[in-house]
Structure 1
């Protein structure tokens, strides 16, 4: 297979303002995510915590931390971020390991994926693993690209890093996230132009291991069976999926509205989590579904455009990976809610309740916006368009 890469070498000369359209798409998705939680969780919050705004308040607090990182990544020199990658990766792995050995670990449904935080909050380290893996691979592949002698190039360390990240996630019994991290890692190998033969040994080990994990856990087999036979097990494994489909159908064309008629979502257990899209669909109808995918498409367009135009290879690779995480995770979640994929533990970025998710998602968006500091300049003498980037006086 021929090698290829989406990156093109270009001179680095000036910095420009961030992409305000990209900024707008991030704020739009976040705003509608908060709005959806407000619409869908009032009754549940009132029943469980005697506070109709309980979930909205928690998401806003997490968002505050997320926006601190968001602006931090926007205005931090990329060179400083690169120097911090080793620390970010090590901290991510240590936090994952702490879910097994730390008294702060929380066990839910037999899985140890969370750490206790102050204020009754929890943190899921596997969310941070996604971002740290992207930065690690982008940095590594950029360095390899600068090696002139092909015989000195190797991807051994990158495959090893990917294996470690995947293993610590799988060890937490977070199967869905483990598979997702694996796919994102392979995608990074693909878009950076690495020889896919390098990843073949990893695939030979990963595929049987993933299949074995499905077979050994009965509930995973039940999920697959429930997906194949969606009308069966209505009171068991398919209860949440069937309730979500009813909520989507109840939305009709224009939705049931934000104040009344949202009776279907009340039957979805923990609607604020992985099935929040069903609540959005009931409230906003088919028109709302189209609007959501329009917002996601706009975000993807601006994000990938940023990555493709960036003249600095590390930033381009990282931005591409961050956009892919958010977009692909969104598509997987909506396909699960719509019954096109078996149930997973993948949440909906910006919309699902989850402090870890919104914090890491906003941090990645901040990095993408940092990468968007590019300026397209038409050179009058040559008639060619070049894209430049330069150091900025950061806040």
Structure 2
């Protein structure tokens, strides 16, 4: 029997713990980079602290919004997301990619919103079309096409990591939602070659994939980041070097405070500390799943499941990239890595989950 009141506290406390861990390691990791940019050593820490405050506001806003609101306005939310993903292509690019919308005093990454939109749309669709999901043309295909449009816009940015994440979460929701496995694997047979072709289309992405298999063949080029990540993890040993004592953060490991922050956690706290952080993430996933199981309403159950699974899969991919078990994807560690859009949207997810617990308590 799930104790709903305890569940609410456990989820909040676990998120707060991960955010505190993130702030500690963002400071540890980003201080040298801030100084190099002729900023105060607390520059990235303060910015992330502000992001967390904004994220808390987003969490509270989501907590106040009834889940029925999302059910009623799922298509307007979908089309707003679609519009924002198109607007991105008219914005200035950075590092060969167009992923951000630049506004006064703030930047926003629409692909973060797209994660929520895909989960919301599929939760609504799988609930509404429950009796038709075994029919390919009237049940499975329409939802696949609409999700595919969002995924296509994101991969063109290009953002292969977020695209892969969305596709994995979408197909998992189809399985949980009752779609036929023959339809799902049939579409996977079409989508997978497209993703591979997109990955191999760009020389840099192709090189990253090949160097994932053997990073030492280009140890000072494409393979450099993975080698430095493995060096960071390996040098931490069992107990770590101690907080603040990482050497890889001293400009050896690129993106140390974002895409590779788990490597610094492993270096400074060792296998023990890194394992504890991962177990905290697993614990949060378990509690979020319990929140999903509180609901008899299929829409609410799938919405909470989708958001919970999305957070976990992104965490899983981040960790596996850091230890060299997956090609580099450019995905941050939820709650922990530096990043404004990511922390705000993830805390919004938690607000939705907490709201669902309240509604389950009163159902």
Q: TM-score, normalised by structure 2?
A: 0.92
**Distance across 1 between alignment mates of 2:108 and 2:241:** 34
Q: Which has the higher contact order (CA 8 A, sep 6+)?
A: 1
The 3-state SS of whatever aligns with 1:235 is coil
- Residue in 2 that maps onto 1:188: 173
Is the counterpart of residue 133 in structure 1 residue 122 in structure 2? no
Change (3 A) 1:188 1:49: farther
Q: 2:151 aligns with which of 145, 166, 178?
A: 166
- Residue in 1 that maps onto 2:33: 44
**Distance across 1 between alignment mates of 2:47 and 2:226:** 26
- Residue in 1 that maps onto 2:96: 110
Superposed, which structure 2 residues align to 1:1-395 within 5 Å? 19-101=8-90, 105-119=91-105, 121-145=106-130, 154-200=139-185, 202-259=187-244, 261-266=245-250, 267-373=252-358, 389-390=362-363
The 3-state SS of whatever aligns with 2:88 is helix
Contiguous gaps of at least 5 residues in structure 2: none
The 3-state SS of whatever aligns with 2:249 is helix
**Distance across 2 between alignment mates of 1:18 and 1:309:** 10
Contiguous gaps of at least 5 residues in structure 1: 1-14, 376-387, 391-395
The 3-state SS of whatever aligns with 2:112 is helix
**Distance across 2 between alignment mates of 1:206 and 1:49:** 45
**Distance across 2 between alignment mates of 1:197 and 1:149:** 10
Structure 1 residue 298 displacement after superposition: 0.8
Runs (4 or more) in structure 1 with deviation over 4 Å come to: 15-18, 146-153
Structure 1 residue 283 displacement after superposition: 1.6
**Distance across 2 between alignment mates of 1:74 and 1:226:** 44
Aligned pair count reads 359
**Distance across 1 between alignment mates of 2:298 and 2:176:** 12
Structure 1 residue 270 displacement after superposition: 2.5
Q: TM-score, normalised by structure 1?
A: 0.85
Structure 1 residue 129 displacement after superposition: 0.4
**Distance across 2 between alignment mates of 1:171 and 1:150:** 30
Larger relative helix fraction = 2
